[in-house]
Structure 1
């Protein structure tokens, strides 16, 4: 691992550092990216090492936030993503920040972030993530009807098979089930399977469970 494996756009953001330091930071970021899914705790340690050497680089703080989030360190994730946002002005972190607030037992703060005007200009997959977080926050507050309305206003019937549509449909089916609307939940779990080509959800298992309960 040399650090040259780092994405070109990210590497460009390290150019202001001395060459040896930039290479060291790059190696930590590459390692974090490789480990993020299977070993998020070690990935987080790598991003902390990068942060110790380049705390004023937005992409380093972003990587720290993402790894902290993956490792379940939600307070740290919020701190790092807020720092990255201050450094580069990006709004893409809002859904993860809102989910951190929810994970910390603060659904009201998650809903405040969901109402940020910048959400309207996010890419479709990020809007979908914010919708899912917002609906979850409503559920946390015992507002199932509001959670359902939030999801019903999303593009659940989008014709693409994009993962964000899969996740929206699954969240809607799950919320319908929580609301006791089992037949509709089954319909939307089936609609989820219809486009979940990569089997990213357990919708099929949920269908079996619900159908067995009804027999």
Structure 2
């Protein structure tokens, strides 16, 4: 199931962080990768999604006070008033406790970094990534941070956006570094959620996107959230999100993504007829050649074949191939296989 999602992620129809947003164009209403639902894979919690990496340094030991006599005793004298140790009589030399000796010893070994510190540091930031690659709307949301911190978070988000397609796991680590530094900024949580989704960390993605939604009230995360429920084995929750009133106001692309997730959830539950009805309510005959139309047709053809309606499936695989100029599906190959099985 994870592989299906990596290839055909639901698209938010434009969102702020993450794949479309952090890297080059995002913010709310930013670009979304055709039919993908990430918008972003980029200083937040677990190490990704933020901007910079910094570090925690271990504190130095503090020395103990010298001259350990009771209050009111003479310098160099013990509590009993007898002459003190190796310095001789009452005016004897200083005595240093073992704790003082340790305090002044040079440090020869660095402590190993904890998991939390490593997450905060995040992956190395490429020198050519400056943070200016982010959409203006995304950068605007970081302005409440101190200048250096905002710059670091921006670089992690931009790095995540640049890597989310080819290396989603590293992109996710960048967003965790951003979250570790700026966990109260919605666009950072959004980036972490979308990068987690791209990397196949569906529980984490769901948690981050819920947090982003609480912060900014956005509903365009719903298709990804619904697909996360599917991946986690909760198709009923996916269908519940698909029936949210806000879906009616989605742009056509976002509606198509939610339709794909709902139909998939129906199939997960063995409800092939319900899945077909769900897809038949979508604009399958749209004149658009956009990727979301291609994917709707492909899903319909695939479901028809699963339902045993091979002749109808063949026709829809051909219809899919006719508008799939970028060959984002294997509709042509599927049609060939069905033709060979025809009597």
In 2, Cα distance between equivalents of 1:26 and 1:210: 49
| Candidates 155, 159, 168, aligned match of 1:40 | 168
In 2, Cα distance between equivalents of 1:10 and 1:199: 32
Does the alignment pair 1:19 with 2:147? yes
For structure 1, the residue ranges without an aligned partner over 5 or more in a row are: none
CA positional deviation for 1:71: 0.5
CA positional deviation for 1:3: 1.1
| Candidates 61, 78, 81, aligned match of 2:206 | 78
Aligned to 2:308: 180
Higher helix fraction: Structure 1 or Structure 2?
A: 1
| Candidates 207, 220, 243, aligned match of 1:92 | 220
In 2, Cα distance between equivalents of 1:209 and 1:28: 45
CA positional deviation for 1:208: 1.8
How many residue pairs end up in the alignment?
Answer: 215
C-alpha distance after superposition, 1:57-112 (max 9, x if no partner): 11111110110000000000000000110111100000000000001110000011
Between 1 and 2, higher relative CO (CA 8 Å, sep ≥ 6) is seen in: 2
Aligned to 2:341: 213
Aligned to 2:266: 138
Q: TM-score, normalised by structure 1?
A: 0.98
In 1, Cα distance between equivalents of 2:300 and 2:261: 12
Q: TM-score, normalised by structure 2?
A: 0.62
CA positional deviation for 1:214: 3.0
Q: Which runs of 4+ in 1 moved over 4 A?
A: none
In 2, Cα distance between equivalents of 1:137 and 1:11: 36
In 2, Cα distance between equivalents of 1:62 and 1:212: 46
CA positional deviation for 1:12: 0.7
Of the two, which has the highest radius of gyration?
2
For structure 2, the residue ranges without an aligned partner over 5 or more in a row are: 1-128
RMSD: 0.9
